[in-house]
Amino acid sequence: MERIRIAGPWITKKEIDYVTDAVTNAWYGNANVYHDRFEKAFAEYLGVRFAIALPSCTSAIHLSLLALGVGQGDEVIVPDITWIASAAPVTYVGAIPVFADIDTETWCLSAKSFEQCITPKTKAVIPVDLYGNMPDMDAVQDVARRHGVAIIEDAAEAIGSEYKGKKASSFGGTGVFSFHGSKTLTTGEGGMLVTDKDDVRQRVLFLRDHGRKPGDTAFFNTEVAYKYKMSSMQAALGLAQLERIDELLARKRQIFAWYQEELAKVEGITLNREPMGTKNTYWMVTAIMNKKFRITKERLMESMNERNIDCRPFFHPLSSLPAYGHLSQAKEARKRNQVSYQISPYGINLPSSLSITKEEIVYVCEVLKDVVSKRGK
């Protein structure tokens, strides 16, 4: 059997046709045609006013922080379990990331821990819609409102997910997406920032083009800023993928259902949850092993790798990474964030590419069950 990959896209003739058209025609006066179509369709799909295409989600978080006025010495609360890209831009703007614990069910930011981490310096919070799930947004918004903290919703992994009928990314001052090659909707690399606020939009458009007014033809810069733009080829790819979003999301949910059929009855393995009122789009199917199996994620990944299966580790708590070793906040988080530290060592992401077949999933689950049954004895 061929190696089973962890992630990968679903590309059809539509995507190839759109990109071919962009590379052929989207120059000169047509240079922005695909950006305009992609941004407009994206905002409409989410039910937000504005969408701005960017080269990555990391740049979208960076510009969100700047546009919301986060800077030197401010504190920004981030869940301890996420990809470092959620937190790295906090450092770019001179602020300090503070790592809050996650919730046992959703694996997303715990509103209670978020509130405990607030200090007079707290300026923003970045809840993350982890692996396609959503935090308890009512509770997160309530805490943020009471303390005057801005929300940047990191929906990088959650296109199409919903909380009480509202789409992921629409719960804060800004929402951000990643279109990295592993994501459900991909442009190879790419990102999007969405917002309902016109002043935020204006500031982001200004900052992402070297500090000049949108549409400026005088090459006249009033601030030193950034060059964060997506190419037309990427925008064309994104538009084609967006026009197929229902099909992409249905496939993701089907993949999760196949895993669930095979693993739901296995005692000691917990899969992604979908709390009442949430639609989870299962970007990565994730399995947490009970401690009784006495197997860490690293050992488990090695065993899967020997059988030709790619897996990924559940994110390490950010506060445990050498990158944040110097932060006194991280030392406190290591003591405080018990849920993050209990779950993280025992979790892996299972292959979730859009091209995976049911037969491959059955094989992955057989191997997984075989490995844990030997350890459980």
Which chain residues interact with ligand PLP by CB under 6 A? 56-58, 82-83, 85-86, 128, 154, 156-157, 178, 180, 191
Q: Which is nearer to ligand PLP, 303 or 320 (CB)?
A: 320
The per-residue DSSP string of 99-158 comes to: EEPBPTTT-SB-HHHHHHH--TTEEEE--B-GGG----HHHHHHHHHHHT-EEEEE-TT-
Minimum CB distance to ligand PLP, residue 176 (Å): 7
Minimum CB distance to ligand PLP, residue 85 (Å): 3
What angle is formed at CA 166 by the lines to CA 150 and CA 313, rounded to 5 degrees?
75
Q: Which is nearer to ligand PLP, 56 or 64 (CB)?
A: 56
Give the pair of three-digit tokens for residue 300: 């488990």
Neighbours of 229 (CB within 10 A): 18
Minimum CB distance to ligand PLP, residue 178 (Å): 3
Give the integer Cα–Cα distance in Å for 336 and 132: 25
Give the integer Cα–Cα distance in Å for 9 and 40: 23
Q: Which is nearer to ligand PLP, 92 or 375 (CB)?
A: 92
Minimum CB distance to ligand PLP, residue 58 (Å): 3
Minimum CB distance to ligand PLP, residue 204 (Å): 16
Give the integer Cα–Cα distance in Å for 64 and 79: 17
Q: Crossing angle of helices 232-242/13-25, nearest 10°?
A: 150
Give the integer Cα–Cα distance in Å for 38 and 51: 9
Give kind and range of the element (H or E) at residue 346. none
* Sequence-ordered list of residues with C-beta below 8 angstroms from that of 35, at least 6 positions apart, any chain: 53, 230, 232, 235
Minimum CB distance to ligand PLP, residue 99 (Å): 14
Q: Which is nearer to ligand PLP, 7 or 149 (CB)?
A: 7
Q: Which is nearer to ligand PLP, 285 or 365 (CB)?
A: 285
Minimum CB distance to ligand PLP, residue 195 (Å): 17
Q: Which is nearer to ligand PLP, 178 or 286 (CB)?
A: 178
Give the integer Cα–Cα distance in Å for 105 and 145: 24
Q: Which is nearer to ligand PLP, 154 or 262 (CB)?
A: 154
